[in-house]
Chains A and B, each alone.
Chain A
Amino acid sequence: MAKELRLMKGNEAVAEAAIRAGCDGYFGYPITPQSEVMEYLMAEKPHERTGMVVLQAESELASINMVYGGACCGKKVMTSSSSPGISLMQEGISYLAGAELPCLVVNVVRGGPGLGTIQPSQSDYFQATKGGGHGDYKLITLAPSSVQEMYDFVKVAFNLAFKYQNPAMILSDGAIGQMMEKVVLEDQIPRLTETEIIKKCPWATTGKTPDRERNIITSLDLDPARQERHNLKLQKKYKKITENEVRYETIDCEDAEYIFVAYGTSARICLKALQLAKEKGIKVGLFRPITLFPFPVNQIKEMAGKIKGILSIEMSAGQMIEDIKLAVEGKIKVEHYGKMGGIIPSPNEVLEALEQKIIGG
């Protein structure tokens, strides 16, 4: 059968992927540059296509708590927003992580702090990978760098979220969300029936039947010893995720002397910079983390033994660079280059930065 191809915006790809992944519910609130997710869903009438619920909430606070309510019932639920909205959701995300609930949160990042700008940025890396809300917790964080990956990672994120009973985040940016590319679509996965959900999620609040104790979903435990046991259980889970779920891509890294480390839109800019570098005879490769948590620590550590320096390219003041430095353990030079305020650096600027900060520096 011929592949189903469609020209789509990144945000639209997320929406179509959600329907086809058998998502049960989307709860959102408009914010630029990701409003197309809900617009697409509403236009598609997924309640007719698959029975999926789509609801525009009164705020991001409400939408993430709707996600919480649905996730407690074992449903495949999600929301999407952009940076200021994701900040509002941090309370709910912390509760979801604390109560070990699977769900998907998509952040189409724009520049900050505050209201900032509606242009693309990568300045929410810390928020996504270091917790964001209160308490010791982690989100499984995937960073797409194409519209196809925006589509693919919806299913990947849901699978990981349910596998580990943990919220997952797709950390995108305004450029990936807004640009159009061709996307290969997959066949529809049917939504789970109530019986299937009860089997798959025996912990879910589906109504207490005589054959089991009541199910309670809470992130509260007033007994410090029990709460610490819960914290340790979470940490054990994050360790397991770190050991098993690291994803990354390498381009021209085999005989490279220098490496760009970049994700999302920055990684796309670096691809062009690689070509420009080749013309100048500079041996540089690209290491693209796909999971930001778990971060590919071991892979970067191993690579550091074979190269002379790393330039972290981020559309921020330099956030991921802290994780790179921790991985490299001071063995080689690691510098940051990036633009802020919603500006995407040009391939020439990236190459110049490599020459000045790493090769010549």
Chain B
Amino acid sequence: MAETLTKQDIIKDENIVYKKTKLMTDKVLSYCPGCGHGTTHRLVMEVIDELDAQANTIGIAPVGCSVLAYEFMDIDMQEAAHGRAPALATAIKRLMPDKFVFTYQGDGDLAAIGTGETIHAANRGENITIIFVNNGIYGMTGGQMAPTTLPGMKSSTCPYGRDVKMMGYPLKITELIARLPGTYFVTRQAVHTPANVRKTKKAIRKAFDLQKQNKGLTFVEVVSNCNSGWKMTPVKANQWMVDNMFPFYPLGDIKVDGELVK
């Protein structure tokens, strides 16, 4: 009798190459297919799992596409008012210095309405980690111009493209943050290819490791697409991101060990 493989024969630890992240809940993600948020969520949860820190982590969700991040991350979380996450994180970390504290914020939240909270938390050197997802647009409210919208880029509130003379310039807040003495590790990554996913995970792990050492604020920007807001297919959106976002927001470490990368 010919041997046939059953499911049970296949489901073995040595055969598993991909599995659900342990600290992601069973809730179906509310993100558009092709969006970078889902992957970034996973990476943060994988790092917390690897650090065995579920009981020692408090996360803060922003207002924006990831407003419901607490539905997907199986850890204690707080939902902040728009832009205020770094203020919440500051208090949590100061009141409970032994916990890992991180905020998860988008570009409208972090670099427009929450610029003050972001810069001052960074400048005080709060021992927190900020995960900053930058897709150059207000996704949740339907694709309005963000502080990070590129010059010439179209959105629902700059339908003819961002005219910098009228609307001002995109804010490179990550470069700004890196110049503050309170930040220790500042990096910009992406999650559009497996190689970039691995690099981003490494960066997030590093940020949390440094938080444990009380080195100051650690900051990981993830440049992402917004295929819905950009009105492109996911594949095209990723290509557009590579061609247009990366030249303006170049990937790589900006500050390492408290020193700006030359």
Contact = CB atoms under 8 A, between A and B. Distances in A.
A229 B199 CA distance: 45
A219 B90 CA distance: 20
Contacts of A186: none
Given A25-B91, A66-B91, A207 B57 contact: yes
Contact of A70 (B56, B68, B81, B95): B95
A77 B92 CA distance: 11
A75 B79 CA distance: 17
A244 B92 CA distance: 33
Contacts of A77: 91, 95
A27 interface: yes
A271 interface: no
B87 A65 contact: yes
Given A24-B95, A65-B84, A70-B91, A58 B116 contact: yes
Contacts of B57: 207-208
Contact of A72 (B67, B75, B84, B88): B88
Interface in A1-45: 24-25, 27
B77 A61 contact: no
A29 B133 CA distance: 30
Residue with the greatest number of chain B CB neighbours at <10 A, chosen from A25, A27, A208? A208
Contact of A205 (B74, B77, B120): B77
A68 interface: yes
A61 B114 CA distance: 10
A59 B117 CA distance: 9
B79 A218 contact: yes
Interface string B66-103: 01101000111111110010011111101110010000
A220 B81 CA distance: 10
A55 interface: yes
A73 B120 contact: no
A58 B117 contact: yes
A216 interface: yes
A345 interface: no
B116 A219 contact: no
A205 B84 contact: no
B89 A69 contact: yes
A253 interface: no
Contacts of A24: 95
B94 A65 contact: no
A73 B84 contact: no
Contact of B116 (A27, A62, A218): A62
Contacts of B96: 73, 194, 206
Nearest to B58: A205
Interface residues of A, number: 39
B54 interface: yes
Given A59-B116, A65-B84, A65-B117, A73 B92 contact: yes
B211 to A, nearest CB: 15
Contact of B55 (A61, A73, A209): A209
Contacts of B81: 65, 68, 91-92, 95
Interface string A53-81: 10101110111011111101101010000
Residue with the greatest number of chain B CB neighbours at <10 A, chosen from A24, A25, A67, A70? A70
A216 B61 CA distance: 10
B95 A208 contact: no
B88 A206 contact: no
Residue with the greatest number of chain A CB neighbours at <10 A, chosen from B57, B77, B120? B77
Contact of B99 (A91, A207, A215): A207
Contacts of A216: 70, 76-79
Contact of B94 (A53, A205, A207, A215): A53
Closest 10 CB pairs of A and B: A69-B88, A218-B79, A65-B87, A69-B91, A66-B91, A205-B76, A65-B84, A58-B120, A70-B91, A62-B87
20 contacts: A53-B94, A55-B90, A61-B87, A61-B117, A62-B117, A65-B91, A68-B84, A69-B87, A72-B88, A73-B95, A205-B92, A207-B55, A207-B56, A207-B99, A210-B55, A214-B70, A217-B77, A217-B79, A220-B67, A220-B68
Given A205-B58, A215-B77, 7 more contacts: A58-B120, A61-B84, A68-B87, A205-B76, A206-B58, A207-B58, A214-B74
